[in-house]
Amino acid sequence: MLSAVERKIEQFVGELNDKEVVSLYRKLPQGKRLRAKLILKIAGTSLSAIKTAAVVEMIHAASLLHDDVIDDAYTRRSKPSLNALYGNKTAIMLGDILYSKGFFELNNISADIAKIVSNAVTQLSLGELKDVSLSKTFNSSREMYLDMIYQKTASLIEASAGAAAVLAGKPKETYMVYGRNLGLAFQMIDDLLDITSDAETLGKPVLHDFMEGKTTLPYIYLYEVLDEAGQQKLVSLHGKVLSSSEQNWIKVEMEEKKILMKCFSQAKELIEEAVELMNSHGETALSGIAMEMIERDF
Ligand code: FPP
Ligand code: MG
């Protein structure tokens, strides 16, 4: 039924009566549609569920368009990003168009759904700002990292699950916990893949996050276990283009100190908690979505 969501997005974009926008939208690489899948699995395929899924995916696409401008990212899902192809101005405006049309349509669903989703978009934006601010210096605080990824990534997944539960008359809080755990684990795994994967699979250079200034969880844990000289070395490498021997040093230290395993276990714990919660509500299909999260290309 994901195709019904694709058609709904096409319809919403088509209603803007602008050929350039339709053609730009079609150039966006389609993602995994995780949020739409989640909504349909929880709420079924009523028109409201399909509309909610379409709006959430439009907002998500808008946020990535802006994120690629903010991060100076020239690839997205192994293809040139829209800012790389057409420049920042076009990417920002397409983001604004998708986002505002999404908001317009959100108001036609219900006030409850509009509140849940719009609150998450505020969180998303606050989280992105935190990500930018935290990237200016080496961040050694786990708490700040976790707060930031909650806002930047988990909030929209949490809201998707919560909104879908409301549509289906299911307990909102329970589904929001599930969505939150999934979102946190998703970002943790994403941050791990930046270290463990290869440039070809990632579609961007490895250790790109750290070179960009992002001190993700593995770097925070590594910092915690290094001696003083090691800590100084790690901090001195933050936000720089790294030579292959510097990259190698980081990777070897992380391997030796079992940092990657530790981060993976933490993400896995969140997923297992989510799976248990869903199993106890008889939602085994939702456990499947959660498991997909930790079974990504590692
Ligand atoms: C990706 O993070 C970014 C996000 C999940 C959120 C971005 C949010 C905004 C730009 C603010 C909201 C704006 C609108 C228009 C709704 P990442 O850079 O860690 O992940 P990546 O590797 O996929 O780029
Ligand atoms: Mg980014």
pLDDT of residue 77: 86
Q: Name which residue sits closest to atom 6 of ligand 1, judged by CA.
A: 152
Tally of CB atoms within 10 A around 172: 17
Helices marked H in the chain = 2-14, 19-27, 34-43, 47-70, 82-86, 88-106, 111-134, 142-149, 155-168, 172-196, 199-202, 208-211, 217-225, 228-237, 244-256, 259-280, 284-294
Mutational pocket test of ligand 1: of 55, 64, 191, 216, the residue with most ligand atoms within 8 Å of the beta carbon = 64
Calculate what percentage of the chain has a pLDDT beyond 90.
86
| Pairwise CA distance, residues 282 & 276, whole Å | 10
Query: Is residue 153 lining ligand 1, measured as CB closer than 6 Å?
Result: yes
Whether the pLDDT of residue 227 is over 70: the answer is yes
Distance 212 CA to ligand 1 centre (A): 14
pLDDT of residue 296: 67
Whether the pLDDT of residue 298 is over 50: the answer is no
pLDDT of residue 168: 97
State mean pLDDT over 123-140: 98
Distance 82 CA to ligand 2 centre (A): 13
Distance 229 CA to ligand 1 centre (A): 34
What does the pLDDT look like over 6-64, one tens digit per residue? 999 999 999 999 999 999 999 998 888 999 999 999 999 999 999 999 999 999 999 99
Query: Is residue 183 lining ligand 1, measured as CB closer than 6 Å?
Result: no
Distance 166 CA to ligand 2 centre (A): 31
What does the pLDDT look like over 182-201, one tens digit per residue? 999 999 999 999 999 887 77
Query: Is residue 121 lining ligand 1, measured as CB closer than 6 Å?
Result: yes
Distances (CA, A) of 110 to 163, 170, 174, 237: 10, 16, 21, 49
Q: What number does the ligand 1 atom closest to the CA of 156 have? A: 5
Whether the pLDDT of residue 237 is over 50: the answer is yes
State mean pLDDT over 280-296: 83
pLDDT of residue 297: 56
Domains of the chain and CATH, by start = 1-109 (1.10.600.10), 110-298 (1.10.600.10)
Whether the pLDDT of residue 117 is over 90: the answer is yes
Query: Is residue 66 lining ligand 1, measured as CB closer than 6 Å?
Result: yes
- Provide the residue count of the chain: 298
State mean pLDDT over 74-80: 88
| Pairwise CA distance, residues 221 & 243, whole Å | 22
Distance 296 CA to ligand 2 centre (A): 18
Whether the pLDDT of residue 149 is over 70: the answer is yes
| Pairwise CA distance, residues 96 & 282, whole Å | 39
State mean pLDDT over 96-113: 97
Q: For residue 76, what are the β-bridge partners?
A: 79
Look over the chain and give the mean of its residue pLDDT values, rounded to a whole number.
94
Query: Is residue 287 lining ligand 1, measured as CB closer than 6 Å?
Result: no
Mutational pocket test of ligand 1: of 67, 72, 79, 152, the residue with most ligand atoms within 8 Å of the beta carbon = 67
Whether the pLDDT of residue 212 is over 80: the answer is yes
Distance 281 CA to ligand 1 centre (A): 31
